[in-house]
Structure 1
Amino acid sequence: MAVTILFLGPLRDLAGTEALEVGAPLDWAGLLSAVAPAVAEQLRLERVNVACAGRVLADKTGLAAKDGDEVALLPPVSGG
């Protein structure tokens, strides 16, 4: 039983990997403890979003990933 965490953009550089597999189920506290401290610090920022099973969460602290889900960590989008 596992959840895959995907690190996108600059979060990938902070994590040092593209993906990490962790035990399921996975909640917000579990996510913060599963990733590197530098990534966890970024996740606490309002501008960083979290998607679970293809849906961006309105409240990322309500994360409830289950076996087979992918959790994508989405850095802020820059634009011009």
Structure 2
Amino acid sequence: MSETAVRLLAFGGTKTIVGTTEVHFPIASSCSASEFLDDVCRRYPQLAPQRQALRLAVNGEYVDSDHRVASGDEVALIPPVAGG
């Protein structure tokens, strides 16, 4: 079985937790954005408290929780942004 993966990009506080701005993140197969984010939170448990506030952008587009994430995609973790 060949490994499938996405290019995971981390910004803001998520970058601190992940430890880098970009990581090769293995996935078993195509999954929903929600399932993908669950996997990310399992790998990086410090993200779990932010889980509901995190957004995902897949290939440069914000996506809903049911959007399919597949091998080769670029997935960005978008933390909440506060303005003033």
Question: What's the TM-score bracket when you normalise by the shorter of the two chains?
Answer: 0.7 to 0.9
Which residue in the other structure is 2:21 paired with? 18
Q: How does 1:54-65 map onto structure 2 within 5 Å?
A: 54-57=60-63, 59=64, 61-65=65-69
2: CA distance, partners of 1:70 / 1:26:
14
Asked whether 1:49 is paired with 2:65, we answer no
Q: How many residues align?
A: 76
Residue type matched to 2:57 in 1?
A
Which residue in the other structure is 1:4 paired with? 7
Which residue in the other structure is 2:47 paired with? 39
Residues 49-71 of structure 1 deviation map (CA, whole Å, 9 limit, x = unaligned): 111111101x2x21411222111
Q: Secondary structure at the match of 2:39?
A: helix
Report the identity percentage.
33
Match of 1:78 among 73, 78, 82: 82
Residue type matched to 1:16 in 2?
G
Q: Which entry has the higher C-alpha Rg, 1 or 2?
A: 2
Unaligned runs of 5+ in 1: none
What's the Cα RMSD here?
A: 1.9
Unaligned runs of 5+ in 2: none
